[in-house]
Amino acid sequence: FYERRTWNDRCGSQASETNETNANAQRRHRAEKTEEQCNSRRKRDATAHHQCRLKSRFLNLVYNFSENTNNDNYSILHKIHSNNYSHCSYCNVLKFPNKSPGMCCRNGKVILAERHIPPSLQRLFYEQDDISKHFHDNIRIYNFAFVFASIGICFDHKLANARAEVYTFCVQDSFYHCIESLLPNLNSEPHYLQIYIWDTKHELHHQMNAIPNSQLNHAIVHELKTMLNKLNPYVSHLRYILELPKKNIANL
């Protein structure tokens, strides 16, 4: 017991001496630095501390995620405070800090037509009624109901089970959208862009059931469908294909 205690004391003494030696070396190293180098180190330390706080905040967002935009954690992804952006005097775009002055329109050399938000979509985004709240809470499902294409993937269902929190979606090799035949397979319902050119009498039904048991609002789906028919150029092209004979569509 005495020998073991003596050995432990000796190890502790050596560790203490090593720590003291390292501390003295660090003090000498700091003393040799110029004021500019010290300020640079302080800035790096402050940046690292700030990034650590941001990481902690976003991890909290992940573990307590909600699509409710009234959630204080979620709102940090949507709000841009007045001191966090710059304003282009030519195209009125809002830019994040440290972006070059001409990155948006090359200081007025590139002129883009002003885009107007459709009134129906603007109402769904900015109103505070129950319909708009339902749209906010299910916005990704509504987006999926009107997509033209998808991606062909092999899920690892042990990870991508959507049972809790948010999983990471990793893609290996090339990434591309998969556009299938314009006509659905025999005895199967149309999906993706097939909805726009096949069995259009039941188009609304197919969009409502894009994701089973999603409980989409019929009025919202109809409103979005009407808006796309009027404004989306791709929908107009698909409507043109609808007028072609079925045998010609199969060969496209």
Cβ 225 vs Cβ 204: under 8 Å: yes
Long-range own/partner contacts, residues 226-229 (CB < 8 A, 24 or more apart)? 226/120, 227/118, 227/120, 227/121, 228/146
Return the bridge partners of 150, or none. Answer: 178
Quickly list DSSP for 149-177.
-B------TTT---SSS-------S----
Residue 1 has pLDDT above 70, yes or no: no
pTM score: 0.51
Tens digit of each residue's pLDDT (9 = 90 or more) over 58-68: 556 554 555 55
Report which of residues 127 and 31 the model is more confident about.
127
pLDDT for position 78: 46
Start-to-end CA distance of the chain, whole Å, equals 88
Q: How many CA atoms lie within 13 A of 37 on its CB side?
A: 6
Does residue 77 surpass a pLDDT of 50?
no
The confidence band for 199, taking pLDDT boundaries of 50, 70 and 90, is low
Question: Which residue in 214, 215, 219, 183 sits closest to 204, CA to CA?
Answer: 219
Separation of CA 78 from chain center: 11
Residues 6+ apart with CB under 8 A from 166: 62, 65
pLDDT, greater one: 73 or 217: 217
